[in-house]
Structure 1
Amino acid sequence: MLAVPLDLAPAAIRVFYPDLVVAVGSIVPDASDLRGLRRAADSIGAELAYWLHDDPYEFDYAFKAELTADIIFSNDSWAVHHYRHDNVHHLPLAASRTRHLRDLTPLPERETMVFFCGVAYPNRVALIRRADAVLSRHPVAILGTGWPSDIRCATNRRLTAAEMADHAADARLTLNIGRDLDIANRRFALPPATPGPRTFEVALAGSAQLFFATGLEICDAFEPGREILLVDGVADIARAIEQALDDPDAIQAIAMRAQIRALRDHTYTQRAARMLALCHNTAGLGLSGGSERPRLALARR
């Protein structure tokens, strides 16, 4: 496999001669030369797939993928049904063993009670503001960008992927709050259905999650009560904190089972295998005997 930035992909395709080209990322920027990518793939007879990771928030730009891709993979299951294309599949994002996997630390040794990392979208601000009094009684780490100064427990600081995993591994509980800010989702105003990648990343890091559920698809990814805790407000957060103090073994068991599940079902290794299987079935990639793997070029934005 060859991985290159999008602007270098057309030249790399003509040199590497892959069977399959996968473009990963956003198709919103006008600078993205998707037609150049299409021409390069056509010039060597390769299939062109997109793995779009910001559905449904950028769905107004779906037409770019519909016009240029042979195969479309969407991170969101509900968005899949709204594409005008004959070859669209649901493929959620996942977690990376190398970036996110951490050893499980015994709960009493963890310094942070509650952790959250993310941009201060309005729904997140409203919830953390309501929970501020509860959270401020404990050692917490609410990190990200755009947090207003009146929220005592929040700090404006960006984290790398490794730092995020380290913080989660050191937290007894991690909040998982989706976003409600669309970039380009006016046409259908699609609500998100599939849990975001942070769900899988935190599980791999070894923290029990308090997941604010807006749909039932989370139950397909993790078993509620055993691998993840579904919450609906400040009272649920307070009860989870009490449980982490009174019964740390139960919270530790949830974190352990979630990590095992993530390793089994939700790494990029599993996603890549699923993608190749779908491409083989729908586009006929690989040799007829299946004895040789298709050559793959990955274009990243």
Structure 2
Amino acid sequence: MTSSASTPSPDLNDIVFDDWVERWLPRPWRPYARLCRLDRPIGTWLTLLPCIAALVQSAGGFPSLKRLIVFSLGALLMRGIGCTVNDMWDRDIDKHVERTRFRPLTSGQLGMRQAVAFLVGQLAVCACLLFFINGHSRWLALAVLPFVFIYPFCKRVTYWPQAVLGICFNWGMLMAWSDTRGALPLAGVAMWLGAVLWQIGYDSIYAYVDVRDDQRLNLHSTALRFAEQGKTWIGGFYLATLLLWTWAGHSLGAGRFYYAGMAVLAAHFCWQLAVFDLKRPDRNFMLFRANLWVGVVLIAAALGGALL
């Protein structure tokens, strides 16, 4: 598979230097904020929104304020931990990738000793949240850590690192059910699996931005696996997502509003596939971010399906 662009596009760089981090944070804090992606919250939202939907479904309506706070902080911290680990693994690779060459570790703004200390600090703060969830959920929280730490290695040995990332990003959905009901019903697992497949789809769109650099560096991704058949593969994952989410809603006795939400998501996925272009990495950035609305609609569907 070949890249469409003959020269690198400056738009592919994923750091904006004239943003709130640069304007408002003290200079020593800025590299740490960028290391845990505080400057790019889309990943946190894509982690948190499906989790909130699971909290709504497991509660049969509005979740408690305490759980909303705990799971929101957990999503923010776990996303930061995952990004820190990823950049530590990839510090020597990122300098050769158009999108990542200015990240703090690869550009020399931070050293490995500082990154390790920051990672330990994030893990310590995240561990404090364990006191606010039940015992089953604590074990689930510990069980996701191996996936977080092996994800950066996966791109070196398999074409499916996006699957591991999907497991990590959406793990909070399982914990939401476990903490709310003390059990994991099959419908809750189906919602989680649907979210994993959704992420494989949208993160594959994102991966097409890096195909030229990944080929040159002998790295792997679903984008390289799907090659020119990307629309077909991604469409298949989106379809499987809708089927799993629809079945789960039926199993949970969701009202008609839930199925209306599924119809909206189906239309949104069709729009993504229509706009998706293997030769337009800048457009793929936009489509990746557009999945924020999938999470919003999923929450609305879960809430409406439970209350109406």
- TM-score normalised by the chain length of structure 2: 0.28
Instruction: Please say which structure displays the higher CA radius of gyration.
Output: 1
Structure 1 or 2: more helix by fraction: 2
Structure 1 or 2: more strand by fraction: 1
- TM-score normalised by the chain length of structure 1: 0.28
